[in-house]
Structure 1
Amino acid sequence: MFFTKNIIRNLVIVAVLCIVYSCSYAQIQDSTRPSRVSAASAALGQDTLVSYIVKKVESYSFKIKRDQSTIKRDIKVAPIKEALPSIKKTLDAFSKRLNEKGRPMNLRGLNTSEIILQENSDRLLDLQSTLNDYFNTLVLDNISLKQIRKDKLLRTYVSDTSLRNQMQSIIQNAIELDSTQKSILAKVTVLKNKVSVILLQSNDIISEIKYLTANVKIRMWGQEDESIFEDRPSEYNQSLTAITLSSLYINAKVLGNYLSNKWDSISFAFLLFVFIVFWCYSNIRRVKKMPEAKEVLAQVFFLKRSVFAACLMVFFTYLPFFFQNSQMSFLHTCELLRLISLSYLLYPFLSKSFKPIWFIFCLLWLYLALDDLLLDPALAERWMLIIADILLIIICIKILKNINDIFIKVANSPATKPLVIFCMAISFLSLLFNISGRPTLAKILGVTAIQSLFIGITLKVFSTIVIESIYLQSEAYKESKFSEFINFKILQHRLKKFLWFVAIIVWGISLLIDFDLYAFESNRFNLFLNANRAIGNMNFTYASVAIFIGIIWLSSIISSIVNFFFNQQRSKDVIKKNTIGSMMLLIRLAIWSIGFIIAVAAAGIPLDKISIMLGALGVGIGFGLQNITNNLVSGIILAFERPIQIGDHIEIGNKAGVVDEIGVRSSKIKSFDGSDIIVPNGDFLSQHVINWTKQDRRKRLNFVIGVSYDSNLNSVKEIIEKTIEANENVLKENPPIILVHDFGASAINIDVFFWVEDLFIANSTKTRVMIEVYDNLIKNKIVIPYPIVTVLQENKETDNKEVSDTK
């Protein structure tokens, strides 16, 4: 029995081993050769499975080709490898310069170094972003590639040899592509690490330069060097010539890099320049063809001298304002080109004694602008600055002594004297600070002194050119509606005030740039504008208030322009009804409404705050704004119902005239004696209005004439009818009506009625008809009697009455 149990147990073990072996053998067979169609596949059908595999093969082939094209982007990595050594070399050079013993870089050198390093840092960030994008793309491609390799469908046995070869090719390509991707990922990772290390070094140097810049700005107010008479040349690293050449090279490189990324702004500014040149040329050409060209051009100086030079000066004046945080090398380049064009424009208008002074002034500006670009200090630089300050002070004294003899024909500006005094004072301070051992502050003040005077002259000429260009436009097209709109005689005074305001702002900004305070002050101003403020529960910023007011102001200007160009403009002889002008109220209301909505959205004012404002406005209306609201609502009603239109002849109360303008709150009536009557819109709805031209412009006229009792009334009627019908202004379709009015004391009174086509000629036509009727009646011996008065006189002595007739 024990033997039997052992036999059974052994048989069970052998059976289990056989089952395990058969399963293992089946798995080995599946892994070594393509599997046959499964039961499920057989159920689907061989054709359906092949079609599904074909679609899979096409999809995988497309993915592999796309990944292979991504691999080819490795070409873009090569420029990064080539760019890193030059960037690293630049950083090492700056690091070495900062660690050198001797005098540190001056303020301009530190600012220029920060610009160059910041550009390199921005470039490194771009390279880092490119590498990160490339790395992430490779990782995602590798993940999808692994899914392709794991797809068992590619190992399914199919009878089609071509399809089977394609499946095997996809597997092989996926294995090779996976290996290539891993290799490139390793290279990109190494390159990313290098870029990160260099970027970290760049940021460290930028932080050190910012610290040194702040330190220089603090130290420049104290004595940073010995007196110029005690200073030693051995303490300076380079000569003035070497510093000048290297500074020019570096500034040229900085300028090229700066302008390479500003082509969009440069292009827009240049297109504006082309438009200004074309505009001025066309106006001057048109004026020269006019009979009074000589008188008109006598008021023009700079544009008559040279349109191109004047426009070029304007171009280099406004060009820096198209760029944010303009670099000093760029500013001085624009100023140099502006000085050349300005000298060409001013030369004929300078007096003979001031022409050499202007030449010396230009040389001084050229040196101080060059000195402002030097990146390292030099002892000779301090001595040259002393000479420049002394010469500038002498020029200022010369100008003050002969301030009325500077220009010929061109009027002096009232700001000339204070500007020259300011320049002389700043130059004197620069001289003192330089001698006492404050070269940085002395250099800043010296450049600021000559810049203040140069910018003042520039803005004077710029303003004159602007006024001259608008004057030429008004004269060239003085018969056009645009010239009537700008009305140069009135605009000139306003424009001068506006240009004065702009000039003061530009002059102040230029001084801040020269003092190297523009960035600091602009940040403070931005913080002031954007700081959150509160009134009760309402939060706001001054920037949002300024935006709101600015858009509302712009809406009012657009409304005025639209109203002017489309409103009724009366001629001296004829007043016609204008339907378009009557719609101006609706158009202006639409402009105001759209402007208000845009202003609210731009200022970021919440709608719940608007509801509070409207609620407060409702309270105001309830207390004291009833009349204003009544007139505003009445204006809207007039715009929609249109009981009156611009050009209508109306009577309201005891006032009569022609509707000249329909406004939002009030309307204007032009009376027949030439006065303007302002009528609140509410009166047009609350009072009786007689509109003589609501339907048409025809009007019925009448007059009364008396004939003697001896006259033949039928003959009189016939004569009057023929006379009226002969007048060309009398309507023929409405024949005149002649009626016997009454029997007067000395004559039979006859009423005459007739119609005229236009209300405007009613009075003149009536006068003419009455004269013609009178002449024809007299010609036909119809007597028009004088009034007869009978006077009775009583004689008390005789009690007799005497009757006498008098005419």
Structure 2
Amino acid sequence: MKITQQYMGRLMWILVWLSSFFIGANVSAQNQDSLKNAAHDSARKAFTERIQEMGRAEAASSIAKYNEGRIHLEQRSVMEELKKTNEKIKIYLQHSIDTASISDDIQSVENYLAIVKEGIVVHRGTAQTQRNLSVSSAIIDQLIGIMGKRKATVDRYASELMGFRDRIDSLSSDSVLYIYPTDTAGLIRYYKKMVVVVKEIAPIDTALNVALSNVQDLQVKTDLVVYELRSSYENIEAEVKKLAANSLNREYPNIWQTPTYSRPFGDIIRFSIAKELLALQFYASDNLPQIFLLLVLIVMSTLFIRRLKLRLKQTGTPKEEIKTKLITRYPLLSAILIVVSIFQFIFITPPFIFSFLIWPVSAVCLTIIFYKYITRFWMIFWIVMVLLFTIACATNMLLQASRVERWIMVILALAGIVYALCVFFSGRSMELREKRILYFIAIFIVTELLALVFNIYGRYNLSKTFLISGYIGIVVAILFLWTVQLINEGLSIATSVYRHPDRQLFYINFNRIGNKSPAFLYVLLIIGWFVVVGRNFYEFKSLAWFTHDFLTKPRSLGNYDFTINGIAIFITILFCSLFLSQIVSFFSVDHSATRTGEQKKGKIGTGSLVLLLRIFIISAGLFLAFAAAGIPLDRITIILGALGVGIGLGLQGLVNNLVSGLVIAFERPVNIGDIIEVHGKLGTMKSIGFRSSIISLSDGACLVIPNGDLLSQHLTNWTMGKNAKRVTLQIGVAYGTDLDQVKNILTGVLKAEEKIMAPPDPIVIAKDFNDSSIDFQVIFWVHHIAQASEVTSDIITRIDKAFKDSGVVIPFPQQDLYIHKIDR
């Protein structure tokens, strides 16, 4: 307490002194003279200045400390960013491009280019050949594509490295790093930090510089190769146009004259094989998805034809008649012939060697199918034409003219003309199963005659074009004609083995086909034949380029940009997705009318799985069609908006059925093959579609019922209850009959029937006293609902026989009639 009072006293003294110094100055001033006042004023001023000086010094010291702290933070931030960038560079360099591989690719492309130049720049010869130029152009086009990808990779890598280099240089040149601490201790600490950062950055910085140097050298090499490729491509295209413009001019001396330039035939074969294999390698690698699709289509077609053959056997068709069906003799060979003939057009501008590999395969398949089907005369004609065709195709792969080849071309043309004339005027046309072949034989004779004349008089390129076009025309025409025949035969078989509504799945009215092929198949055949033959002519290629430009030219409709090619792709993809969904449905819809096996719970049934798969295929096809056609997906919202308006105006029923289809797919109240009862009608579930389902009734008719009605009606699913059915019979016996005897008889009859389930055991009960009989009720179960009528009939027959043997009477209704006479 005393201590507190002591401190309070001192505090009061200080306050008094301060008040006397500041506040009490006026009171003191009144008692002091003017000199004393002046001294006090001077002291106060000096004190004030000293206090202000101390404040300014402290403020300057605080600002310096603040700036030094801020600079330290900025320096630390820059150093951390340097470290992070250094780590990014380190990781990026570890996963960088394989420059050695790209260098090897560049070397390989240079080697390929050297092969391409063979016969064009090196050993040019007297004149260029159209085949050599076309093959070389195709190879260079592929090489440009390969090097274009490599160049893009190298440029992107170089750009990333330059970005890292600029980032490192930008951080390293930051001025804040060069503001050093004023004190010695701080300067030493900062120096040590800088040394650590430099040691961490230096190796990566060196590696970055090396990588930049290497990639810049690689860029130079890549640019040079790309330039050389493009220059060579332009030169070859110029040569092609020049050759096409002068196609009627003489290129070589007449066949009997000595050529001015001669090259060993072996060298020509060697570089021709190298170029052709190179073209095949590049084209096959770029078209692997199409090749895979072709193989898948062959497998699917084989399965379909095998199924047709199996259905023929199931329908009781005699074996002799099945053997007469050409398409089902060899399902795999028929599938190869049909698929290759039709779907070869998915390969855009294939090299000749690629076509040369698939055409003989089809020819061999047709030869085996022809065996013992056509007459011996026309079989020999076909085999001879295939052999000559093979030799002509082999000759066509020679890329430089030679005297030996020209004589081979003369022999081929003469042999083809002479043999075709003999066949044409042989009078054996009545043996032909396809009379249209005669038209193509006539065309073949004309083209080979032109090839012979042009070759004799030195028009080598024109002669070779007509020679190979003639042989391709005759062989491909026969392949196409018999492809149409096989398709027609397959459709005719489908007409006989598939009943309504199965054949609706392909949108074809099979009843209209009969034994005559549809006209549109022949139209497609003629178009395809012109395409295959026309590929050998430069004019066809010019027309193809014009068509391509027309289809891909951008067009505008309001704010929407489109191309005809995009619209065609959109429609094609949608059609293919719909067709594929129908094929999936086709291969799953044709089950047997009944299904006695127990269905596993918790597992999606066939019908639900098929419906979901079809929905997925169509949905994926729709979005893929929009993407492939270049239509922005945000435009779909407009379609959905319009669809919403349509739903509100009158599509409720359609949408209800579509949604009900989805509900059936997920809830699975009914499945394909289930035995159901709707509206009192018993039938088997045939198919479940998007909008409606099909029920095969027991009387043979098919009931088409909307999915909405299928869910809203009282549906009885016998299959869901394991197809078992309870049968109840009402039996009456005469009054006075031994009821125990009746029970024993009925029980014995029921136990003797093997088709009655046990357990549950049959039940026999006395039910009621009727007017003229005592009624018994017999209850038993059968394994399958389809057996109910048959078993009931057998049981009634056996009960009647057992009652007769035992003397049990089944009474008929009796009534006593009393007639009263009325007295009048």
TM-score, normalised via structure 1 length: 0.62
Provide, for residues 177-235 of structure 1, a one-character-per-residue CA deviation record: whole Å limited to 9, x for no partner.
89x769x75x9768756765665455344334323323433443xx4239986x8957x
Aligned to 1:741: 770
Match of 1:722 among 720, 736, 744: 744
User: Whole-Å Cα distance in 1 between the matches of residues 662 and 547 of structure 2?
Assistant: 42
Q: Secondary structure at the match of 1:735?
A: strand
Match of 1:675 among 684, 700, 705: 700
Aligned to 1:559: 585
Aligned to 1:388: 412
TM-fit CA distance, 1:603? 2.7
Aligned to 2:29: none
Cα 1:656–1:449 change in 2 (3 A) is same
Within-5 A mapping of 1:133-212: 133=156, 135-136=158-159, 139-140=162-163, 142-144=165-167, 146=169, 150=173, 152=177, 158=188, 185=213, 196=223, 199-200=226-227, 202-212=229-239
Query: Match for 1:424: what amino acid?
Result: I
Within-5 A mapping of 1:635-654: 647-648=674-675, 650=677, 652=679
Match of 1:225 among 244, 247, 250: 250
Q: Secondary structure at the match of 2:449?
A: helix
Q: Secondary structure at the match of 1:225?
A: coil
User: Whole-Å Cα distance in 2 between the matches of residues 147 and 536 of structure 1?
Assistant: 48
User: Whole-Å Cα distance in 2 between the matches of residues 765 and 311 of structure 1?
Assistant: 47
Within-5 A mapping of 1:449-464: 449-456=470-477
User: Whole-Å Cα distance in 1 between the matches of residues 79 and 365 of structure 2?
Assistant: 75
Q: Are positions 1:440 and 2:470 aligned together?
A: no
Q: Secondary structure at the match of 1:326?
A: coil
Aligned to 2:421: 397
2:589–2:686 Cα contact (<8 Å) kept: no
2:455–2:463 Cα contact (<8 Å) kept: yes
**Higher mean displacement: 511-520 or 612-621:** 612-621
Query: Match for 2:642: what amino acid?
Result: I
Match of 1:110 among 117, 121, 133: 133
Q: Are positions 1:612 and 2:642 aligned together?
A: yes
Aligned to 1:657: 682
Cα 1:589–1:527 change in 2 (3 A) is farther
Q: Secondary structure at the match of 1:105?
A: coil
User: Whole-Å Cα distance in 1 between the matches of residues 348 and 383 of structure 2?
Assistant: 32
Match of 1:252 among 270, 274, 279: 274
Within-5 A mapping of 1:292-331: 299=323, 324-331=348-355
User: Whole-Å Cα distance in 2 between the matches of residues 552 and 224 of structure 1?
Assistant: 53
Cα 1:448–1:115 change in 2 (3 A) is same
TM-fit CA distance, 1:677? 4.8
Cα 1:784–1:189 change in 2 (3 A) is closer
TM-fit CA distance, 1:671? 5.4
TM-fit CA distance, 1:111? 1.6
Q: Secondary structure at the match of 1:736?
A: strand
TM-fit CA distance, 1:724? 1.7
Aligned to 2:56: none
2:447–2:466 Cα contact (<8 Å) kept: yes
Aligned to 1:548: 574
User: Whole-Å Cα distance in 2 between the matches of residues 67 and 760 of structure 1?
Assistant: 72
User: Whole-Å Cα distance in 2 between the matches of residues 557 and 570 of structure 1?
Assistant: 23
1:157–1:164 Cα contact (<8 Å) kept: no
User: Whole-Å Cα distance in 1 between the matches of residues 74 and 651 of structure 2?
Assistant: 82
Q: Are positions 1:602 and 2:627 aligned together?
A: no
Within-5 A mapping of 1:24-423: 104-119=127-142, 121-122=144-145, 125=148, 128-129=151-152, 132-133=155-156, 135-136=158-159, 139-140=162-163, 142-144=165-167, 146=169, 150=173, 152=177, 158=188, 185=213, 196=223, 199-200=226-227, 202-220=229-247, 223-225=248-250, 233=257, 237-239=260-262, 242=264, 245-246=267-268, 248-256=270-278, 258-259=280-281, 262-263=284-285, 299=323, 324-332=348-356, 361=385, 364-377=388-401, 384-400=408-424, 416-423=437-444
User: Whole-Å Cα distance in 2 between the matches of residues 535 and 177 of structure 1?
Assistant: 55
Aligned to 1:699: 727
- Structure 2 stretches lacking a partner, 5+ long: 1-63, 181-185, 311-318, 492-504, 818-824
TM-fit CA distance, 1:173? 7.3
Provide, for residues 724-783 of structure 1, a one-character-per-residue CA deviation record: whole Å limited to 9, x for no partner.
2222249756433354432xxxxx445443222135554445444544554455445556
Q: Secondary structure at the match of 2:236?
A: helix
Query: Match for 1:422: what amino acid?
Result: I
2:693–2:705 Cα contact (<8 Å) kept: yes
TM-fit CA distance, 1:658? 3.2
2:673–2:684 Cα contact (<8 Å) kept: yes
Cα 1:616–1:218 change in 2 (3 A) is farther
2:676–2:682 Cα contact (<8 Å) kept: yes
User: Whole-Å Cα distance in 1 between the matches of residues 264 and 702 of structure 2?
Assistant: 78
Provide, for residues 294-347 of structure 1, a one-character-per-residue CA deviation record: whole Å limited to 9, x for no partner.
x89995999999999999999998997786533224444666788789889989
TM-fit CA distance, 1:714? 3.7
Q: Secondary structure at the match of 1:715?
A: coil
Query: Match for 2:443: what amino acid?
Result: F
Cα 1:348–1:171 change in 2 (3 A) is same
User: Whole-Å Cα distance in 1 between the matches of residues 230 and 678 of structure 2?
Assistant: 80
Aligned to 1:482: none
Equivalenced residue count is 690
1:149–1:174 Cα contact (<8 Å) kept: no
Provide, for residues 500-541 of structure 1, a one-character-per-residue CA deviation record: whole Å limited to 9, x for no partner.
999777655432333356755655665676678899999882
User: Whole-Å Cα distance in 1 between the matches of residues 107 and 686 of structure 2?
Assistant: 73
1:433–1:439 Cα contact (<8 Å) kept: yes
Provide, for residues 635-677 of structure 1, a one-character-per-residue CA deviation record: whole Å limited to 9, x for no partner.
788887959996556474xx743344465566656555x4325
Identical-residue share of aligned pairs (%): 15
Query: Match for 1:514: what amino acid?
Result: N
Cα 1:750–1:690 change in 2 (3 A) is farther
Q: CA RMSD in A?
A: 6.8
